[in-house]
A and B are shown apart, each in its own frame.
Chain A
Amino acid sequence: MANREQDIEHITAMAARMRRHILDMALEAGAHSSHFGGGLSVVDITATLFGAIMNIKPDNPEWDGRDRFILSKGHGCLGYYTALHEAGYLSHDELMTFEKTDSFLYGHPVMNRAKGIEFSSGSLGMGMSLGTGVAIAAKRRGQDHRCFVIIGDGESNEGSNWEAAMAAPHHKLDNLVIILDRNRHQQTGSNAEILDVGDAGEKFRAFGWHVEEIDGHDTGALYDMLSARRSDGKPLAVVANTIKGKGFSFSEDDNSWHHKILTKAQYEAAIVELDGAGDAA
């Protein structure tokens, strides 16, 4: 991997820019509010995927050989739209229409392949099944692209996930990658308070998955793990330990930011933190 250092540098800088865009979008969304915390927890993952890992052609969004991406936890769309912008699918002006009248960027993704949005989501627990279908199609056709699906830990309460978890190893889908955004929170509290998926890695392993556990904000580690392709017939489940609201001191690990309005004062404080982090780096 000759370009490893450059790639990781690119991903890290991209993630920082995405957090800046997220601030702008959240402020612009105003009273519509946004899923701030769960968007920020996936940023380093989506930056790694769209910044380096996925084989995509943003100028030919429906290119047949592209790697597929499904944001099953659709409320994490701030971390998706900003990655699509950085990758070249969405303009900055389009990004700033988020949740506005006549915008195609809703509070949950709505399928728009020309703009890189592969599937609609928002109703939880459906992405793994879609990904399973996409991966079976690739296997039957002898295509070698992969399908990446990001799910949430609150979302893991949905039983349909575990139907897919049983099916994917059975069908030997080593072209399917599930990344669990393990931020340990869900809508109205911590997983521990509401319903905890527990040792998710052990559960996937028991179903026959290859499992990796990782710091979901360590872009180098994400890069290395997602670069490696295996062909042992086992789908890959990555348990990415993350922090909800990652990036800003006022929102990190504070579940009140699940869906909340960003004030101008908070925005300005966040910008200072981002710039400071940039200086420190």
Chain B
Amino acid sequence: MILDRRKAKGLSRIGSRAAYGMTLFELAPEYDDLMVVTADTSTSAGLDRFRNTFPEKYVDVGIAEQNAMGVAAGLASEGMTVALSTFAPFQTMRCCEQIKVNLGYMKHKVVFTGLASGVVLGTLGYTHCCIEDMAVMRAIPNITVLSPADCGETAKAVEAALNHHQSVYIRLTGGSPNPPVYTEDYDFEIGKAVKLREGSDVGIIATGTMVHPALKAAEILAEDGIDAAVINMHTIKPIDTDTVKELSESTKLIATVEEHSLIGGLGSAVAEAKAPLRNAPPQIMMGISDSYDKAGDYGDILEHYGLTAEHIADKVKADYSSL
């Protein structure tokens, strides 16, 4: 999947969910044994064109996520390349034990994608938001966890996941349009973070939708004389320990930013990677506090939890100044 400015813009406009469906549509001819499974969510996943064009590669099992995960694993056990998707809470927690037993324990390989994760569906309430999926999926052995920064990276992540050696959970965040981080091609490698900006004072590690505001925050910080590096940590598991180590040695403060609970996600994964390091810098963790208190408009929720470029810059500046 080669990215250029036109493609990045087009994908950005349709959002990450539609980018997922479009990517599977484009890749379908390359995989004889591809089987796309949904739980009455073809439209939500941008899969209607796929469903109409490749009915032989498409299975809808209805609104039954436990069965969906079992069926996906059964197909995978027969050697098929399986991509399953539904809304993130149902994709991860409704069928959590099926994920553990079928994908983790038996290692049947399924690419499963959580649609509209984070708080983009805030107006629908927290049943449809997902601030726990990275924490829950990270705890299951033999599952890789990806969190793409934008729609172009979503396309790259889907392709990489289909070719990966084990099951992959892809966490899709953001609305449509979804501002592009990347407008030209780059190397996407599972487990290898991407340094988007060099900096020697602060190391901001962001994932998913938070990469874009993190870059903006770095610009704001630069105006105040604070030199911030920005890392796109698109792989949450396995976490890129080399990058965390390098950043811990080259900066004086680490900041993690995620549209996820502060418990168990990116911040936790980075803290685990930092734990054994000698003289590692302190870490500030930005994300959603341990609550379901603030639902509503997407922008308002992000504002409430301090997940905007301005808030990120303010928080980093305050903590950096008091070092």
Contacts and interface: CB of A to CB of B under 8 A. Distances in A.
A118 B77 CA distance: 9
B61 A167 contact: yes
A160 B66 contact: yes
Contacts of A128: 70
Contacts of B106: 111, 119-120
A129 B105 contact: no
Interface string B111-131: 000000000000000000000
Contact of A129 (B56, B59, B67, B76): B67
A133 B72 CA distance: 6
Contact of B70 (A126, A141, A159, A171): A126
Interface size class of A (residues with CB under 8 A): 20 to 34
A166 B70 CA distance: 14
Interface residues of B, number: 25
Nearest to B101: A123
B296 interface: no
B62 A166 contact: yes
A229 interface: no
B66 A132 contact: no
A130 B74 CA distance: 4
B97 interface: yes
Nearest to B82: A133
B78 A163 contact: no
Interface string A115-136: 0001110110110111111111
Nearest to B75: A133
B71 A129 contact: yes
Contact of A126 (B56, B61, B102): B102
B80 to A, nearest CB: 6
A225 interface: no
Interface in B208-246: none
Contacts of A167: 61-62, 64, 67, 71
| Interface SS, B side | helix
A61 B226 CA distance: 63
A140 B56 contact: yes
Interface in B64-119: 64, 66-67, 69-78, 80, 97-98, 101-102, 105-106
Given A140-B56, A166-B64, A167-B64, A133 B101 contact: no
A134 B78 contact: yes
A134 B74 contact: yes
A140 B74 CA distance: 13
Interface in A128-155: 128-138, 140-141
Contacts of A159: 66
B56 A132 contact: no
A52 interface: no
B65 to A, nearest CB: 8
B75 to A, nearest CB: 4
B35 interface: yes
Nearest to B65: A163
A129 B78 contact: no
Nearest to A134: B74
B58 to A, nearest CB: 10
A129 B80 contact: no
A131 B77 CA distance: 10
Nearest to A164: B67
Interface in A212-250: none
| Those 10 A-B pairs whose CB atoms lie nearest each other, nearest first | A133-B74, A129-B70, A163-B67, A163-B64, A137-B78, A133-B71, A160-B66, A130-B74, A134-B74, A133-B75
28 contacts: A111-B106, A119-B106, A120-B101, A122-B101, A123-B97, A123-B101, A125-B66, A128-B70, A129-B69, A129-B74, A130-B71, A130-B74, A130-B77, A130-B102, A132-B61, A132-B74, A133-B78, A134-B77, A134-B78, A135-B74, A136-B59, A160-B98, A163-B66, A163-B67, A164-B70, A164-B71, A167-B62, A170-B62
Interface of B: 35, 56, 59, 61-62, 64, 66-67, 69-78, 80, 97-98, 101-102, 105-106
Interface of A: 111, 118-120, 122-123, 125-126, 128-138, 140-141, 159-160, 163-164, 166-167, 170-171
